[in-house]
Amino acid sequence: MNLIIDVGNTSVKIAVFQVDELLEKVTCSLEEFEANFEQLLKKHPKISKSIVSSVGFLSNLQLEIVKKRLHVLVLGPETPVPFINDYKTPQTLGVDRVALVSAAVKKKPNQNTLIVDAGTCITYDFVTNKNQYLGGAISPGIRLRYTSLNNLTANLPLLTKEIPELITGNTTNSAIHSGVIYGVLFEIDGVIQSYREKFSDLTVILTGGDANFLSKQLKSSIFAHSNFLLEGLNHILQYNSNE
């Protein structure tokens, strides 16, 4: 039984897997991590291995707490992965993107796959039907766009995400919603279309915190998958455990 720890920019996700089956998932803050970690160990005493992926900040003390209880794999640039990594600067490749590609080759083997992760940032990652990871793109996510408009201007308010009724905003608030949300939707649809022009058999997977919010608004045919990153981390842990 595996414990998956994903430390993101805004929260920590802790998941329990029995082989490939997700049994339980908890989302918490860094401050709540230790309590939730201990609670899951008590609830699932057969947990023996763990993988830690951190794009946020998990303290050395918190990591040592995990290492004292479980066999731990800390995902990094040198960790063996189940795909061919053709990224030119693998040392700078985010561990979250590594996990997403690992999930893609597990769930959609030997398929040209574009993974769109709509979170704090929107990342695009492409893996070929030969399990070769070529790279992708990074752009600001929905929350970053709203925050930037507020922080970098004198008079624009900070809004929370909302699907605009019309593309033509007739108030400042509706204009911001139109600019942010339609900007994201047009960007994602445009990127998908560009890949489809080169790869007619393209599979597209949408994941991340804003996946459900965006999925019904996108024109492109996609698979929305909220736990894709966690499944990728579990696959990496299994891959290394079997070596």
> What domain range includes position 225?
84-232
Residue 243 located in a structural domain:
no
Distance CA 182, CA 211 (A): 15
Residue 183 located in a structural domain:
yes
One domain for residues 25 and 96: no
One domain for residues 112 and 183: yes
Active-site residue numbers? 96
Q: Where on the phi/psi map is residue 218: left (φ > 0), alpha (ψ -120 to 50), or beta? A: beta
Interval 114-128: pLDDT, tens: 999 999 899 999 999
Query: With bands split at pLDDT 50, 70 and 90, how would you rate the model's confidence at 243?
Result: low
DSSP-derived pairing of the beta strands 132-140 and 84-85: parallel
Residue 241 located in a structural domain:
no
pLDDT (0 to 100) of residue 173: 97
pLDDT (0 to 100) of residue 45: 95
Q: How far is CA 220 from CA 215, 217, 223, 243, in A?
A: 9, 9, 10, 38
7 is an annotated ligand-binding site residue: yes
153 is an annotated ligand-binding site residue: no
Residue 163 has pLDDT above 60, yes or no: yes
Interval 23-50: pLDDT, tens: 999 999 999 999 999 999 999 999 999 9
φ/ψ of 217, rounded to 5, equals: -95, -20
One domain for residues 58 and 95: no
Residue 136 located in a structural domain:
yes
Distance CA 180, CA 163 (A): 10
Q: Where on the phi/psi map is residue 106: left (φ > 0), alpha (ψ -120 to 50), or beta? A: alpha
CATH number, position 225? 3.30.420.40
One domain for residues 135 and 166: yes
Residue 239 located in a structural domain:
no
One domain for residues 43 and 103: no
Q: Please compute the mean of the pLDDT values over residues 76-91 and round it to a whole number.
A: 96
One domain for residues 31 and 148: no
Give the position of tokens 């790869």: 199
13 is an annotated ligand-binding site residue: yes
Q: Give the chain's domain count.
A: 2
Q: How far is CA 201 from CA 162, 198, 226, in A?
A: 33, 9, 23
Q: Where on the phi/psi map is residue 208: left (φ > 0), alpha (ψ -120 to 50), or beta? A: left
Enter the pTM of the model: 0.91
Q: Please compute the mean of the pLDDT values over residues 137-153 and round it to a whole number.
A: 97
pLDDT (0 to 100) of residue 232: 97
Query: With bands split at pLDDT 50, 70 and 90, how would you rate the model's confidence at 54?
Result: confident
One domain for residues 34 and 99: no
Interval 106-116: pLDDT, tens: 999 999 999 99
One domain for residues 68 and 92: no
One domain for residues 105 and 209: yes
Residue 238 located in a structural domain:
no
195 is an annotated ligand-binding site residue: no
Residue 113 located in a structural domain:
yes
67 is an annotated ligand-binding site residue: no
12 is an annotated ligand-binding site residue: yes
Query: With bands split at pLDDT 50, 70 and 90, how would you rate the model's confidence at 57?
Result: confident
Interval 10-23: pLDDT, tens: 789 999 999 999 99
Distance CA 3, CA 241 (A): 13
Indicate the SS3 state at residue 147: helix
One domain for residues 112 and 215: yes
